[in-house]
């Protein structure tokens, strides 16, 4: 059965003009775009989204970065979507990302790393609900 995951094309990738290329990688890998919207998010919205990282040393910088420009919020659908998107994204730090992954191709640094993907079923459910209303997902 199809599973849903949540993803973001982060502001660095949008700024560099990589949105179309990243969407192509996602579709080529078999994901359906259940929903997508462009949005500029506030620092407070970023803080709420990344609340699990609140104690991490990079939290403040991460939230600042996420509100530096528009990004694309997405809900992606396929079998095994959560794990498969994580694989397609590659390691958090692009220096450690495998060849062929989105972060290897498009990320600039450990922080400005082009794409977000939920890491588990419970976080996917929280993240989809944080950014999308039910009527946007039909």
Q: Rule CB under 6 A: which residues touch ligand GDP?
A: 53, 58, 61-62, 92, 110-111, 113, 116, 119
> How far apart are the C-alpha atoms of 93 and 91, rounded to whole Å?
5
Structure tokens at 96: 């450690």
CB nearer ligand GDP, residue 38 or residue 60: 60
H-run or E-run covering 129: helix 121-131
CB nearer ligand GDP, residue 36 or residue 62: 62
CB nearer ligand GDP, residue 122 or residue 135: 122
List the beta strands (DSSP E) in the chain.
3-9, 32-39, 71-78, 115-117
What is the DSSP secondary structure assignment for residue 68, as one 8-state letter? S
The question of whether 53 is a catalytic residue gets the answer no
Contact 61, 100 (CB under 8 A): no
- Least distance CB 21 / ligand GDP (angstroms): 19
Catalytic one of 94, 116, 118, 124: 116
Q: Which residues are catalytic?
A: 116
């Amino acid at each position: 059965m199809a599973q849903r995951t949540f993803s973001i094309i982060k502001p660095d990738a949008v700024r560099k003009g990589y949105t179309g290329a990243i969407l192509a990688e996602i579709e080529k890998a078999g994901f359906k775009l259940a929903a997508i919207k462009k949005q500029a998010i506030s620092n407070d919205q970023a803080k709420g989204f990344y609340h699990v990282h609140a104690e991490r040393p990079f939290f403040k910088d991460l939230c600042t970065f996420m509100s530096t420009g528009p990004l694309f919020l997405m809900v992606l659908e396929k079998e095994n979507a959560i794990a498969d998107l994580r694989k397609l994204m590659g390691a958090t730090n692009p220096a450690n990302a495998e060849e062929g992954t989105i972060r290897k191709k498009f990320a600039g640094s450990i922080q400005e790393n082009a794409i977000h993907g939920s890491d588990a079923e419970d976080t996917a459910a929280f993240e989809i609900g944080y950014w999308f209303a039910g009527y946007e997902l039909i």
